[in-house]
Amino acid sequence: MARKAPAPTPATIVWFRSDLRLSDNAALTAAIERGCGIVPVFIYDTEAAGRWAPGGASRWWLHHSLAALARDLERLGSRLVLRRGTASDVLPAIARETGASLAVCSRRYEPWAIAQEQSVRDRFAADGVDFKRYPGGLLMEPERMATGAGEPYKVYTPFWRALSQRHVASRPLSRPSHLSQPSIWPPSEDLSTWRLLPQRPNWAQGFAPAWQPGEAGALDRLDRFLESAVSSYAEDRNRPDLEATSRLSPHLAHGEISPRLVWWRVAGLRGRDGAAAGSDKGLETFLKELVWREFSAHLLFHFPKLPDEPFRPEFARFPWRPDAHNLEVWQRGKTGYPIVDAGMRQLWATGWMHNRVRMIVASFLIKDLLIPWQQGEAWFWDTLVDADLANNAASWQWVAGSGADAAPYFRVFNPTTQGEKFDPQGRYVRAWVAELTDREGGDVHQPLPGKAPPDIFIRHRDGAYPPPIVDHAQARECALAAFQSLKKSGAD
């Protein structure tokens, strides 16, 4: 009589999601403390995410981040199990394959991810497998942040005050030195078969020189920022011609570093002697930017329609003028406004754009071209390596004037004066707009005379820089008139 295979000993599934790190990972720490074999798993579940599945640039980052996480796990004597499919089907299957009696994960806050978690919980309950979620993606869980009236915050400044007063800069959880193996390893798919990287043409060839995805890259980026740029952050963060920002956003978006660890490191510099001495203003300004990310997640959690619908309902009546040609001109960086085109070309080449320039290009699309903010949001989602649903939606609505605590609609950025103010020597523009390298100093921001013809792409194949697609002064008047019509229709 053939002997039966021994039953697997209990194991714990650690479901990695947007927490692709080993340090300060509460779910992983809880699994280790349980003392069973650990099965690290990542599931590529595009069905659950739907239209908010990772865009092209995020897929590039995800590929390299997963490869880095797999290498880090191998150094601990473990491995990363990769599966494609619906999480509520894949996770129970892995539990059966390994004999796991518990699965843990970090929380996510997108509407689709919340529904995904509930579906997984229901399936596990039917199979008798425990399922536990842990915080880690935010400084403060959204349910814990409420106004005195018990309502969600809708204005950033009181949100910042409340969080900065209530958040305790606790020491991050340690990185493990070893992970116990399960008695049975489930099969894993090959990352290369997921085809997350662009094929032909390879539009991401400029990404690798600019980025180091993975936890080690995140920690190195934080170290360099704190050593060289944080002391002048308050003064220089709006200058795209300087290396004055942290560029941590893609690492935070993919969970390669926790906001708690970032806060802990920054808070530890306050009041100390050394490179950051006397830089409290810079440190606080940076923490406020970290909390803007938190505020965006808070809004999305409490108002799940934020990525699709205007937060302020009256903006549903706004008289937009969708135009496929103008949208493409903007996307390709051919508007004739140098700071706008530099930003759009930087985005395409590196998967990232300086935050001040993001505001400028967004204002241009929304208010100079009167194209709906959702179309800009969709383009950023596909082209940004730091694409984050909450940040993206909240920021586009802020510029549009339709969001929570939004900039007033009548605040229309002048792309020429913005360029002159924040790129005074024109270095940023010349770095990204090759046609203008022979124009000196701040003169590079002056658009060429005339207006670009409709067949702009045909006429400028020779590399000549085009004149403006619209006259900004006239476009501003049209935008303000549209806003006034919205106010009038609301009154009626």
Same domain, 37 and 124: yes
Q: Which of 97, 189, 320, 414 is catalytic?
A: 320
- pLDDT at 274 (0 to 100): 37
Cα 205 → chain centroid: 20
In a domain? residue 231: yes
Q: Which of 396, 398, 420, 432 is catalytic?
A: 396
Are the beta carbons of 123 and 88 closer than 8 angstroms?
A: yes
- pLDDT at 271 (0 to 100): 53
For 442, counting Cβ atoms within 10 Å of its Cβ (0-12 exposed, 13-18 middle, 19+ buried), the class is middle
Same domain, 417 and 339: yes
Same domain, 455 and 359: yes
Same domain, 330 and 408: yes
DSSP 329-380: HHHTT-SS-HHHHHHHHHHHHHS---HHHHHHHHHIIIIIS---HHHHHHHH
- pLDDT at 491 (0 to 100): 47
Same domain, 243 and 263: yes
Running DSSP on this structure, what letter comes out for residue 16? E
- pLDDT at 254 (0 to 100): 98
373 is catalytic: yes
Closest Cα partner for 162 from 291, 296, 304? Answer: 291
In a domain? residue 27: yes
- Cα dihedral 114→115→120→126 (10° resolution): 130
Tokens of 201: 């043409």
Give Rg (Cα) of the chain: 24
Same domain, 294 and 418: no
In a domain? residue 202: no
- pLDDT at 36 (0 to 100): 95
- pLDDT at 1 (0 to 100): 46
Q: Which of 309, 355, 414, 435 is catalytic?
A: 355
In a domain? residue 372: yes
Tokens of 122: 């229901």
In a domain? residue 193: no
Same domain, 325 and 471: yes
292 is catalytic: yes
Rounded to whole angstroms, how far apart are CA atoms 241 and 237? 10
In a domain? residue 207: no
Instruction: Indicate the number of domains in the chain.
Output: 3
84, 118, 136 — which closes off a domain?
Answer: 136
* Buried/exposed 299-314: b ≥16 CB within 10 Å, e otherwise: bbbbbbebbebbbbee
202 is catalytic: no
Residue 12 pairs in a beta bridge with 38, 102
264 is catalytic: no
84, 115, 136 — which closes off a domain?
Answer: 136
Same domain, 413 and 328: yes
In a domain? residue 117: yes
Predicted confidence pLDDT, tens digits, the chain (492 residues):
455 555 556 899 999 999 999 999 999 999 999 999 999 999 999 999 999 999 999 999 999 999 999 999 999 999 999 999 999 999 999 999 999 999 999 999 999 999 999 999 999 999 999 999 999 899 999 999 999 999 999 999 999 999 999 888 889 999 999 999 999 999 999 999 999 999 888 999 999 999 999 999 999 999 999 998 898 999 999 999 999 999 999 999 999 999 999 999 998 887 544 333 345 889 999 999 999 999 999 999 999 999 999 999 999 999 999 999 999 999 999 999 999 999 999 999 999 999 999 999 999 999 999 999 999 999 999 999 999 999 999 999 999 999 998 667 778 999 999 999 999 999 999 999 999 998 888 889 998 888 777 776 666 655 789 999 999 999 999 999 998 888 766 544
60 is catalytic: no
At 316-331, the pLDDT tens digits run 999 999 999 999 999 9
In a domain? residue 179: no
Q: Which of 211, 352, 373, 398 is catalytic?
A: 373
Same domain, 366 and 466: yes
CATH code assigned at 458: 1.10.579.10
Same domain, 122 and 154: no
Same domain, 476 and 328: yes
CATH code assigned at 122: 3.40.50.620
CATH code assigned at 158: 1.25.40.80
Domain limits at 88? 11-136
- pLDDT at 461 (0 to 100): 58
DSSP 64-130: HHHHHHHHHHHHTT---EEEES-HHHHHHHHHHHHTEEEEEEE---SHHHHHHHHHHHHHHHHHT-E
396 is catalytic: yes
Same domain, 433 and 479: yes
- pLDDT at 417 (0 to 100): 97
At 16-41, the pLDDT tens digits run 999 999 999 999 999 999 999 999 99
267, 302, 337 — which closes off a domain?
Answer: 302
Q: Which of 47, 97, 289, 309 is catalytic?
A: 289
Q: Which of 52, 60, 263, 292 is catalytic?
A: 292
